[in-house]
Amino acid sequence: MSLFRKKSLDILMSQAADSEKGLKRTLGVGSLIALGIGAIIGAGLFVRTAAAAGEHAGAAVTISFIVAAIGCAFAGLCYAEFASMIPIAGSAYTYAYATMGELIAWIIGWALILEYALGAATVSIAWSEFLNKLLGGSVPYEWSHSPFEKALDANNVMHHGILNAPALIILLLLSLLLIKGTKESATVNGIIVIVKVAIVLVFIAVGWQFINPANHHPYMIPADAPKAALPDGSMYDYSSFFRHGWGGVLAGAGTVFFAFIGFDAVSTAAQEAKNPKKDMPIGILGSLAICTILYILFSWVLTGVAPYTDFLKSGKEASVAYAIETYMHGFGWLGTMVTVAILAGFSSVILVMLMGQSRVFYTMSTDGLLPKVFSDLHPKFRTPYKSNIILLVFVGLFAAFVPGSVAGDLTSIGTLFAFVLVSAGVWIMRVNEPQRLRPFKTPLVPLVPILGILVCSAMIFSLDNRTLLTALAWMLIGLLVYFGYSKNNSILKSPGDILPKAKDFE
């Protein structure tokens, strides 16, 4: 049995045509764009902007956003071609299955767990932190932190975490919403998107008048920039290659790339789009374009209001509120609004991440690579409710008992890896099946896919060695699962298994 056996496009298209047995088609182009914005604008914009500026790029974090956006645009164009051509849930996993074979598809599906499931857990932990901040710390430390965390209070009393209850609650509520239906989830997501985008626009409009031009000069951090103080009293040295100049801009792009994660989640909803051939490219590229413009404006204002070195000592999570309180006197109310926007942003990101993961699991299950329970649909709502419940348990355990810092940049590396393979897949498909109908065509092939591979690979290698080694360990675990279960249960295990599966969808 070949490790690179491919799933026929004819079977994929017959699955896409099925409207009775499969997922329910309820999403229009507006819902798809909102889905993308809902997944994109969240922790990345409010947290990673300050981290990238303070540690790597300075005011040139705006250029970091542009570099990351260019990498995403190359990948986004490739996603758009695939999503219009193969309107099936599963995103990069499905595309890899059709172009590079089962083993590569499995690897990418396993990598997407880093993006979606781990991402949802990490963001839910951050959601808990900001909720407690908004409530003035009224949630006891013990019930808002993992057992592996401890801290001294103002009275010098040590507190040990028990579990992160707020993180569990938000995961439960959003999982129930997803089980109820995709249309209802999209409606709630649309409302959240309007709230958080409005607050981002208010910050840009109000903060513009508080920009200090001196904070934008020099635009990039110079090699001889003086060391800056960290909260623990140590000094941060900017002399290394990835902490100043263009090296810092590239490292900053790898950091803020987290802020762009989400537009690819639109492609996981392809099987629930009313007119996927037309609407999927608009949803993917439209949400990416809107968020890129907002990101550049936001980072320009933030680094103009406060000097980049402030973001090392003020705390990355509170960076925006810090800048408002310190440099925008009289606008304290905006700091509270930003916290509300962050909570709203986190909520929609968790929602879309959980949805994306359940759809990837749904497709992997229908292919036999995961147990059938992941593709069981609710008899009334036609959502993969069992998958949502299993995800709630898995993600909930992580969120309740593991510190958020453990995730690091693993979410970014999983996504970047998916982007590299999708870019390669478009090129491969153009060579192998040039005659296929493509409602949307990626321009300048193979140049755009090659650039997507190069830019995303560069951002992967700009991440720290610990993240790279952890990701490698995760992939090795995935290979053990594949050879232990998935390879022998695949619907492509023998040629005779393929035709009955295709007939099932006619």
Query: Which of 95, 91, 87 is CA-nearest to residue 112?
Result: 91
Pull the structure tokens for residue 420.
């590299």
Kind of pairing between the strands at 158-160 and 150-152: antiparallel
Comparing 97 with 156, which gets the higher pLDDT? 97
Q: What is the pLDDT of residue 174?
A: 93
Q: Does 495 score more than 70 pLDDT?
A: no
Q: Which residue has the higher pLDDT, 434 or 15?
A: 434
CATH topology for 9-504 is Amino acid/polyamine transporter I (1.20.1740)
Work out the pLDDT band at 482, boundaries 50, 70, 90: very high
pLDDT in tens, 274-320: 887 788 888 888 888 999 999 999 999 999 999 998 888 765 556 78
Spatial CB neighbours of 289, under 8 Å, sequence gap ≥ 6: none
Structure tokens at 333: 């109310």
Residue 60 has pLDDT above 90, yes or no: yes
Angle, vertex CA 261, rays to CA 205 and CA 104, nearest 5 = 165
**Is the preceding omega at residue 281 within 30 degrees of 0, hence cis?**
no
pLDDT tens readout for residues 252-282? 887 787 777 777 777 777 777 788 778 888 8
The pLDDT value recorded for residue 4 is 78
Q: What is the largest CA-CA distance in the chain?
A: 72
Q: Higher confidence at residue 498 or residue 276?
A: 276
Provide the percentage of residues in the chain whose pLDDT is more than 90. Answer: 25
Residue 37, φ and ψ in degrees, nearest 5: -65, -40
**Secondary structure class of 229 (helix, strand, coil):** strand
Tens of pLDDT, residues 109-122 = 898 887 788 888 88
pLDDT at position 305 is: 94
Higher-confidence position of 28 and 88:
28
Query: Is residue 504 pLDDT above 50, yes or no?
Result: no
Residue 406: pLDDT band (50, 70, 90) is low
Q: Under 8 Å CB-to-CB from 206, ≥6 apart: which residues?
A: 328, 331, 334
In single-letter form, the type of residue at position 14 comes to: S
Whether the per-residue pLDDT at 488 is higher than 70: the answer is yes
Spatial distance between the Cα atoms of 252 and 77, rounded to a whole number of angstroms: 23
Averaged over 193-208, what is the pLDDT?
89
Neighbouring CB atoms inside 10 A of 137's CB total 11
The pLDDT assigned to 317 comes to 57
pLDDT digits (tens, 9 = 90+) for 328-386: 988 888 888 888 888 888 888 888 889 888 888 988 998 899 999 998 988 888 888 89
Between residues 166 and 383, which one has the greater pLDDT?
A: 166
Tokens of 25: 């088609």
- Whether 215 shows a pLDDT value over 90: the answer reads yes
Strands (E), 112-211: 150-152, 158-160
- Which of 113, 98, 5 lies closest to 488, judged by CA? 5
DSSP annotation of 156 reads: S
Query: Could you tell me if 95 and 325 are in contact, meaning their C-beta atoms sit under 8 angstroms apart?
Result: no
Q: What is the pLDDT of residue 503?
A: 37
The share of the chain scoring above pLDDT 70, in percent, equals 91
Number of neighbouring beta carbons within 10 Å of residue 165: 16
Q: What is the pLDDT of residue 494?
A: 60
How confident is the model over 36-62, as a mean pLDDT? 83
* Whole-number average pLDDT of the chain: 83
Sequence-distant (≥ 6) Cβ neighbours of residue 95 within 8 angstroms = 82, 86, 421, 422, 425
Q: How far apart are CA 90 and CA 309, in angstroms?
A: 42
State which H helix or E strand residue 236 sits in. strand 235-236
